[in-house]
Amino acid sequence: MEIKIGKVEKRLNEIIEEEGAVYLTLLDPEEENIEEIAEKVKDYADAIMVGGSIGVVNLDEAVKQIKKITKLPIILFPGNVDGLSKYADAVFYMSLMNSSNTYWAITAPTLGAITILKYNLEPIPMAYLCIEPAKKTAVGYVGEIREIPQNKPKIAAMYCLSAKFFGMRWAYLEAGSGAPYPVNNETISLSKKLSGINIIVGGGIRKPEIAYEKVLAGADAIVTGNLLEENPNAVEMMYEAIKKAGKEKLKNR
C-alpha cells in the first residue's frame, strides 16, 4: 500500500503556505455544551480536533453532532485505542515519544492501526511530546511521561528531528490541558529550525497575544481547548491573532 498525504493534511499544508499558520480547536467529546462550542468555532477554526486524555463517552455521537453544525475537517486526537470514530475525516496517528511506558509510544497506535484502516480514516503521522508543566496535567498522569524541561529546548528539538527521521510530518509540543503556562518560544523555535517538520503548539494558551508570539516563534499550528469550554467567544480573537502572526511570519521568510 502506497502512503500518500491525504486531503485533510494537504489542506492544512496549503493553509500554512498561504496564511502562515493553522488554528485548530480541540473539543472534548464529554463536554456537555459541545454543540454550542462547535457553533462558535465553525467560522474561525481551520479544523476541529476531537479527543481527550481520560476517556470518551459515545464518541460517534459527538462527532456526528459536530458534523451537523460544520463542514470543517474533524481530526481525531485519540487518548487511547477507543478514541476512534468512522464518522471523522482524519486521525493524528501519534506516538507519545517521551512516555516511560512503551504502550503509549508504540503499542496503542499499533493496536489502533487496523481500526483506522477499517474506518478509512486519513492517518496524519505525528510525534506527541509533553513539555513542562505537562506532568501536572491529565496527559502527564495517564501517559506516564518523562517530562521535557522548559529550560532544555535541545531535548525537544532532538525528539522532533528523530520524529522526522521516523517519517513523521508533524510534532505536537504539548504543555497539557489547563497548563498554567505554555511551551516557551525557544523550544518552539529550535524544534522547528532543527527538524523542519510542522510544529503544533498547545496547552496554556489563553490569550491571543500568546498565540501570536508562538506563531512568530515558529509554530505552524496553534491548539486551544479548555479556553473554548470556558469562553467560546474567545475563538474569534484567537483566530485573528494567529492569522496576523502567520502573515508577518510569511513576510519575514
Known binding residues for Mg(2+): 28, 53
Joined together, the cell numbers standing for residue 214 give 508562538
Give CA–CA dist 73/67, Å, rounded: 9
Number of H-type helices and E-type strands within the chain: 11, 8
What are the distances in angstroms from CA 32 to CA 27, 57, 110? Answer: 11, 11, 31
DSSP bridge pairs for 250: none
Helix axes 235-251, 7-19, angle to 10 degrees: 70
Residue ranges of the annotated binding site are: 28, 53, 172-178, 203-204, 225-226
Quote the CA–CA distance of 177 and 198 in Å, as a whole number: 21
DSSP result, 129-160 = EEBTTGGGSHHHHHTTB-PBPTT-HHHHHHHH
The amino acid sitting at 225 is G
Residues 79, 54: Cα–Cα separation, whole Å: 7
Tell me the sheet residues that pair with 154: none
Known binding positions for sn-glycerol 1-phosphate:
172-178, 203-204, 225-226
